[in-house]
Amino acid sequence: MYLIEKENVMKIAEELAKNYELFGPVVDKGTGQVFFDRVNDSSEISLSAEIPAIPPKHVVFPQIERIMKYKYDRSAKKAEIEAILDNRSKAIFGIRPCDLTGLIVLDRFFLGQEFVDEIYREHRKRMFIVSQNCIAPFKQCFCVCTDSGPFADEGYDLNLTLLGDYYLVEAGSDKGKELVQRLGLKSADPSYAEMKKKANDKSISLFESIATDNKAWISRVMNRITTGFIKEDVWEYIGKQCFECGACTFVCPTCSCFNVEDHNRFDGTTDRLRTWDSCSFEGYTKMAGDHNPRHPVEDRRNKRFFCKLSYSQSKKYLRPGCVGCGRCQWVCPGDIGLPNVVTYIRREITE
Query: Which stretches of the chain bind other proteins, using CB under 8 A?
Result: 68, 70, 72, 74, 77-79, 81, 83, 85, 109-110, 113-120, 122, 228, 256-262, 264, 270, 272, 277, 279, 284-289, 291, 293-295, 299, 303, 306-307, 310, 312-313
332 vs 341: CA distance, rounded Å: 12
In the complex, minimum distance from the CB of residue 301 to other proteins, in angstroms, rounded to a whole number: 14
CB nearer to other proteins: pick between 59 and 255: 255
CB of 19 to other proteins, least distance (A): 23
Nearer to other proteins, 93 or 110 (CB): 110
| CA atoms lying within 13 Å on the CB side of residue 110 | 23
Please state the closest distance from residue 289 (CB atom) to other proteins, in A: 5
Residue closer to other proteins (CB basis): 257 or 331: 257
Residue among 126 and 215 whose Cβ is closer to other proteins: 126
- The residue among 16 and 106 lying less far from other proteins, judged by its C-beta, is 106
Paired with 168 in beta bridges are 3, 161
In whole angstroms, how close is the CB of 8 to other proteins at the nearest point?
A: 40
Count other C-beta atoms under 10 Å from residue 138's C-beta.
13
Comparison of 37 and 277: residue with beta carbon closer to other proteins: 277
Beta carbon nearer to other proteins, 138 or 311 = 311
Smallest gap from Cβ 36 to other proteins, in A, equals 23
Q: State the SS3 of the chain.
A: CEEEEHHHCHHHHHHHHHHCEEEEEEECCCCCCEEEEEECCHHHCCCCCCCCCCCCHHHHCCCEEEEEEEEEECCCCEEEEEECCCCCCEEEEEECHHHHHHHHHHHHHHHHCCCCCHHHHHHHHCCEEEEECCCCCCCCCCHHHCCCCCCCCCCCCEEEEEECCEEEEEECCHHHHHHHHHHCCEECCCHHHHHHHHHHHHHHHHHHHCCCCCCCHHHHHHHHHHHCCCCHHHHHHHHHHCCCCCHHHHHCCCCCCEEEEEEECCCCEEEEEEEECCCCCHHHHCCCCCCCCCCCHHHHHHHHHHHHHCHHHHHHHCCCCCCCCCHHHHHCCCCCCHHHHHHHHHHHHHC
Least separation in angstroms between CB 104 and other proteins: 17
Q: Which is nearer to other proteins, 70 or 237 (CB)?
A: 70
Name the residue nearer to other proteins (CB basis): 38 or 286.
286
Distances (CA, A) of 200 to 54, 141, 287: 25, 15, 49
Q: Residue 245 Cβ, how far from other proteins at the closest point, in Å?
A: 19
Tell me how far, at minimum, the Cβ of 242 lies from other proteins, in Å.
18
Least gap, CB of 238 to other proteins (angstroms): 16
